[in-house]
Amino acid sequence: MFCSMSHRARCIHERVTRLIACGYAFVTLLNAPRAAHANGRYPKADQLQIAPDDPRFLAVRTTFGLLLSRDSGQNWDWVCERAIGYSGVQDPTLGLMRGGTLIASLSEGIARSPDRGCNWAFSEADLGESPVIDLTVRQAGATQALALVWDAQQLGYSSRILASVDDGRTFLPYGTPIDPAVLVTTIDVAPSDPHRVYASGTRSADGVRSALLFSSEDDGQHWSEHQLPFDPKLEQGVYIAAVDPQDADTVYLRTSSATVGRLLVTHDAGEHASAVYSGSLLSFALSPDGKQLYFGGEDGLHAGLARDSKFEQRASIRVLCLAATTDTVYACSDEHSGFTIGASTDGGLSFEPLLHLETVRGPLSCSAAECETDWPVVRAQLGIPLPTEADAGAAADAGATGSGGSPAAQVTPKGSCAVAFGDASSTLTWQALLLATLGQLSRRRRSRLRSRLPAK
């Protein structure tokens, strides 16, 4: 992905555009605390959402922004954090609604794009300065969503839930608050019951933490509290993995720890819960009918029938996210496993690579004005070569046909960045790219020097 010392001589003799990207990546390696950083972290993808009304439209959360595909993963375009409305190290929860509306939970608020990632604004919500920790979309109709908000207290946080019934435009108070002594971490809704809501969290009493599942049958007006299996010496938190799409009483949860986690299941809305698996748990998915389970982590992908609670390892890949349709299982992994996003049509036994980081086409053209200044750094970090003049010409020909739809939603794939080299109208030549790259490196160095100065 990156130009190593052994390849440096060969890189020097490549065309100037490739030298710029490779040289910056090499300098980045020398000046960064760790290699191959994107926004201070190793570039990776760790959440994938499928549009409820268009299975071809995929949205993937990454450590360097958002990746979108409109053709079932054959091509991927990038939306930068700046365009969405956030910066710094955040992992926003993504939600996909009908009609291509995207929402994301941020420290700054609830970001919303009504046109498949082209334009972003914040939803109307009474948040103050409180962060939005989690959100979920009701799949029935897929125009309603819930958001979990944390309000800072003198000690810890209290939580409240907001709801939207207008495709994410506005969020209003929902239900009654859960015990403020509970650190609520996730919320979810039952696809088969529009009034059933679940929340998970932990409570500390006398220095001992316990894990809890809260259930409501009346839109959060009343909550029932249920104790969950939990080892406070080893486990750190509990999170809702999924609610069965056919059975509102069946909920899957996972616990987290520094080493392994446990997969929990309850079939009576939390009255009784048991652990059905212990191991590395970073991701979980249910088939649309709820009969097939998929989960995984550092030790591979596991799957099995829900009714049996017996699971087998289907693949040895590292699993960072999962999503499932009737006939396809999608997984986020890393290049050591052979792909960043892959698709399986045989229940997870084998995967077809859909995304390698170096094949990201560049900023989504309808949001390129906000993202193109960040693209040179991201491109170098992902190891993407700069386009040749032939690439730019072919991209311009492809872009002439457009992608259909309204002008605001049109996407002009250009093969990479929205700026086409060799295009006389382009405002960003390779010289400007070099200056931008050197300028960003200079600013980074100055920032590091300031950080080393003693506090006044």
The two counts, helices (H) then strands (E), for the chain are 7, 29
Tell me which of 409 and 287 has the higher pLDDT: 287
Tokens linked to 259: 């080493």
Distance CA 433, CA 342 (A): 32
Residue 439 has pLDDT above 90, yes or no: no
- Residue 387's pLDDT band, with cuts at 50, 70 and 90, is confident
**Residues above pLDDT 90, as percent of the chain:** 69
What is the model's pLDDT at position 88?
Answer: 85
66-82 pLDDT, tens digit per residue, is 999 999 999 999 999 99
Q: Which of 198, 237, 190 is nearest to 214 (CA)?
A: 198
Distance, first Cα to last Cα, the chain: 42
Neighbours of 184 (CB within 10 A): 26
What is the model's pLDDT at position 53?
Answer: 92
Distance CA 127, CA 75 (A): 36
Q: Walk across the sheet containing 110-113 and list its strands.
A: 94-96, 102-105, 110-113, 121-122
Instruction: Specify the DSSP class assigned to residue 363.
Output: B
Find out whether 96 and 79 touch, Cβ atoms under 8 Å.
no
Q: Where are the beta strands (DSSP E) in 306-444?
A: 312-315, 321-324, 329-332, 341-344, 352-355
CA distances from 280 to 7, 230, 254, 319 (A): 36, 16, 10, 10
Say if strands 144-152 and 208-216 run parallel, antiparallel, or are unpaired: unpaired
This prediction's pTM: 0.79
Find out whether 324 and 304 touch, Cβ atoms under 8 Å.
no
158-177 pLDDT, tens digit per residue, is 999 999 999 999 999 999 99
Q: What is the mean pLDDT of the chain?
A: 82
Helix-strand-coil percent breakdown of the chain, rounded to 5? 20, 35, 45
Domains of the chain: 45-358 (2.130.10.10)
**Residues above pLDDT 70, as percent of the chain:** 76
- Residue 40's pLDDT band, with cuts at 50, 70 and 90, is low
- Residue 143's pLDDT band, with cuts at 50, 70 and 90, is confident
181-209 pLDDT, tens digit per residue, is 999 999 999 999 989 999 999 999 988 99
210-223 pLDDT, tens digit per residue, is 999 999 999 999 99
Distance CA 212, CA 179 (A): 11
334-374 pLDDT, tens digit per residue, is 999 999 999 999 999 999 999 999 999 999 999 888 999 99
- Residue 20's pLDDT band, with cuts at 50, 70 and 90, is very low
